[in-house]
Amino acid sequence: MPASRWANASSGTVRSEKPADPSPGDSGRAARGLPAYVLRVPTGTYRALNPLTKFVIALSSALVAFGVRGWTGPLSVLVVTAAIALIAGVSRSLRRFVLATIPIVASILLVNAFLYPGATDVLFRVGPLAATGTGGTVALQATLRVLAFALSVAVFSLTTATDDFLADLECRGTGRRLTFVVGSAIRTIPAMGSRAVEIVEAQRARGLDTEGSIRRRLRGIVPLAGPMVFGSLAEVEERTVALEARAFSAPVRRTVMRTLPDGSGQRAMRWLVGLGSIAAVVASIAGRFPLP
Amino acid sequence: MAWLSRQFSTRVIVLIPIAIAINIVLGYTVQTILKLPIYLDSIGTILVGVLAGPIAGALTGILSNLIWQYAPVIGGGTIGPFAITAGVIGFLAGIWGQLAVYRSRPASGTQLILAAIAAAVIVVVVVIPILNNPAYTDPNIGGYPSWVYTAAIVIAAIVAVIVAGFIYIRRDLAGLWVAVAGVVTGIVAAFVSAPISAIAFGGVTGSGTDLLVAALRQGGSDVMSASLGQGLFSDPIDKTITSFVVFIVLGGLSGRLLARFPLGERLLGNRAV
Amino acid sequence: MTLRLSAVTYRYAGAQRDALTDVELELPAGSVLGVVGPNESGKSTLCLVASGLAPVVVGGQIRGSVTIDGRETVGMRPHELAQRCGILFQNAQAQLSGTASTVFEELAFGPRNLGLPLGTVIERVESSLETLGIAGLADRDPDRLSGGQAQLVALAAILALGPDILILDEPTSQLDPQGTRLVGEALRRLAHEKRTGILVVEHKTALLDELADRVIVIDQGRLIREGASVDVLADPALVELGVEPPPRVRVRSALAGAGFRTPGEVDALLAELAR
């Protein structure tokens, strides 16, 4: 890599002026000089959308799925999300998310179908329990809502890299502290996860029972939580000093490095989808939503 | 505003992601690997609240839930909507931190016995009105079947004995305050979670405690009451255990480490560093 | 830029004892100062105090003065300190930001925090990569580096801030001989070409023998010996403190012990062997 392509750049003395931040979409100017593995421009019809757009879609889907009572809300979200999944080519990966909803869906169906308070339209009986039509309807709707929500989450996390989302938020003015917190948390979790696995394995070797009685499993918490928590907290001081040594608390606007493409069309879509979903929820709460 | 930026010093900014990771990893391990009927996913949130204040605590809780819901690879599940509850838990923890609830209060002999008795008395005082009020035991007005109250009294008695034992064995009055903080946090969390669960998830949680929901509904409770009943059973226990874990952890950290946090001084009192 | 410590006494917050007592040292531009001493003698504390991070970030009480070109460090904000005085610790992984997907972005972390124009940021990153010869690591994930590689990246990250003074606390502890040599050469270049003042704590006295102009010995928070590196490292008292002398000194004492007549002859022999 050549030592310097920027012979006419500043000599490196620090200025506290605000850098000329390229606005989102102005990827031409900022991109010069940055290697491709840093720019990481996403490709693909849905993936190439600005991360904020995808996030607004995800949040709005969640809002409509839960907030618009009746069938239209969850069903429309399901249809739209499935379509997006097809366009983005992630339909096969949805399976994991759908499977993860099985415990709660089972609960929803059983508890509500058989034990819905005040329902009298019995459909059939199983022993002492009676399945009611009202209960069944509620159960089915709730199931659809959970599935719609799960799919909207899945589509977001499968098509949006955290780095991209955070970089875009920074372009829009989010402070370095919030982006650090989220970025660091996401990278710390796998590391801590392996540490936890190591500890559980070590405890198992020493006799911790992960399958035995509740009391024995409860006793397993302290040897797990202790080392994990203390170990990570011991690093706080060191990491704080290291961050300060890298000028983390400098009172200037941080240089924007990566920009994600955006456009007026996407801006319009965000407003439309966002406001539209809020309007639908308000209408539903007020009882004025026209569809079932 | 200075108070706000002090809550977010670099040290706190370093602590929060670690706390979020602790929440998620510990919560996942306890729920999925150890398969215990408690969540234990708020240790980090309460820790941040106690050390850095209500806003930092609330932020930790909310971000933990959103990240656990939406992050690539680890995302999924149904925890996202409960970000509100997590935020409230963190906020409360900040209040407890301001009130120095988790500060060690070493005591001996008479004081300890008095505190243990006081704890037992409080429990009894709370329980008697429930026993005596017939309105609560009438299922027709959305109340709970009578076995719920017997169960609640038994659980309260057990908890009182455990807490009193803790206070006595560790010779530390703080155990009483930590237990109160845990129970209050748990009760508030249950009240905040019940409508979320009822609106979003048909009043269930997808875990073993749904059996309790079923039993309550069988006894005649409506969706919200059943959800609340389940919450009032599991949340206070979970949050009290979590609070004690946080208390033990804080006790084990060096004073030098704690003193640099915004609420650290309050925590140390006159503990030798 | 000259770093100067005058009669510096430092105590950590809430500690019973002073960690450093009456330390006096001067680090002129372009010079390399080695620091040796037994474990727990206060070497790491010296690094924190000299860089200004103690007490500014770490807390504690300080008496005496620490100045960079005459300006007291206690009055500076951490980001001002960071640009004048870079510091590197032993645990490389704990020093990385933990937010970068590639080494390139990791190195850019510091300059970006200062709000430098993007062109300058890129220039700083590429220059740091080249100085340490790690351009091949630029697209790697910082979490997946070996201990030695992480240390080099952490050093590069500090260099990217452009400090005129470098303080290093056992920088080669996790490096293999080749990595040690690489870092040693980079430090020498920085001292001679860029006139960087370098304070380096090391157990590897061989490295200090080659690199350092002067060496100080710290024991129990006090500066007990100071002088040219050739003299200090040859002092037999070092061994009693648990500091292993460099090979040059060990060979000389071994030869002298084996009966060579005068130290002058031994030195001549060694010079001959070195050529």
Residue of C nearest to A247 (CA): C79
Query: What is the reported pLDDT for A75?
Result: 94
- Chain C residues touching A241 at Cβ < 8 A: 48, 53, 57-58, 89
A177: which chain B residues are within 8 Å (Cβ-Cβ)?
A: 8, 13
For chain B, which residues make up each domain, given as ranges? 2-98, 109-245
- The bridge status of strand C32-36 relative to strand C20-27 is unpaired
Q: Which residues pair with C223 in a beta bridge?
A: C218
Q: What is the pLDDT of residue A31?
A: 47
Q: Which residue of A has its CA nearest to B238?
A: A218
| Chain C nearest-CA residue for A242 | C95
Task: Specify the higher pLDDT residue, B220 or A110.
Answer: A110
Q: Does the pLDDT value for residue A283 go beyond 70?
A: yes
Q: For residue A4, give the nearest of C99, C114, C123 by CB distance.
A: C123
Q: Which residue of B has its CA nearest to A109?
A: B202
Contact list in A for residue C87 (CB cut-off 8 A) is 245
Cα distance between residue A232 and residue C98, in whole Å: 14
Q: Do C15 and B255 touch (CB under 8 A)?
A: no
pLDDT digits over B18-73, tens only?
A: 999 999 998 888 877 776 777 889 999 999 999 999 999 999 999 999 999 988 87
Q: Do A154 and B75 touch (CB under 8 A)?
A: yes
Give me the residue from B36, B202, B220 closest to A218, CB to CB: B36
Chains A & C: contacts with CB separation below 8 Å = 160
Q: Do C14 and B273 touch (CB under 8 A)?
A: yes
pLDDT tens, residue by residue, C125-163: 999 999 888 999 999 999 898 888 888 899 999 999 999
Contact residues, chain C, for B262 at CB < 8 Å: none
pLDDT per position as a tens digit, C195-249: 999 999 998 888 888 899 999 999 999 999 899 988 888 888 888 888 888 888 8
Residue pair C129/C138 in contact (Cβ under 8 Å)? The answer is yes
Q: Please state, in angstroms and rounded to a whole number, the distance separating the CA atoms of residues A238 and A244.
A: 10
Neighbours of C265 (CB within 10 A): 12
Interface contact flag, C113 A248, Cβ < 8 Å: yes
pLDDT at A158 over 60: yes
Chain A contact partners (≥3 CB pairs within 8 A): B, C
Chains contacting B (3 or more CB pairs within 8 Å)? A, C
- How far apart are alpha carbons A4 and A7 in whole angstroms? 6
For residue A219, what is the nearest residue in chain B, using CA coordinates?
B34
> Which of B74, B245, B257 is closest, CB to CB, to A189?
B74
- Closest Cβ–Cβ partner in A117, A161, A200 for B29: A200
Strand partners, C169: C201
How many Å apart are CA C153 and CA C132, to the nearest integer? 9
Q: Where are the domains of chain C?
A: 3-244, 245-275
**CB < 8 Å to B10, chain C:** 57, 78
**pLDDT band at residue A13, thresholds of 50, 70 and 90?**
very low
Closest chain B residue to the Cα of C58, Cα to Cα: B260
Q: How much is the ipTM here?
A: 0.88
What sign has the CA pseudo-torsion C42, C47, C48, C52? Answer: positive
Superfamily of domain C3-244: P-loop containing nucleotide triphosphate hydrolases (3.40.50.300)
Tell me: pLDDT of A47 over 80: yes
- For the entire predicted model, the pTM comes to 0.87
pLDDT tens, residue by residue, B66-108: 999 988 877 777 888 899 999 999 999 999 999 988 988 887 7
Contact assessment for residue B236 and residue B38, using Cβ atoms and an 8 Å cutoff: no
Mean pLDDT value of segment A147-155: 93
Residue C98: list chain B partners with CB under 8 A. Answer: 17
Q: Do B273 and C13 touch (CB under 8 A)?
A: yes
Give me the amino acid identity at C12.
Y
Per residue in C57-107, pLDDT (tens digit) is: 988 899 999 999 989 999 999 999 999 999 998 888 889 998 999 999 999
Dist CA C9 CA C61 (whole Å): 8
Is the pLDDT reported for residue A108 higher than 80? yes
Placement of tokens 């203390």 in the chain:
A230
Among candidates A218, A73, A82, which has minimal Cα distance to B245? A218
Give B63's contacts (C-beta < 8 A, 6+ positions apart): A181, A182, A185, B16, B20
Instruction: Decide if A217 and B34 are in contact by the 8 Å CB cutoff.
Output: yes
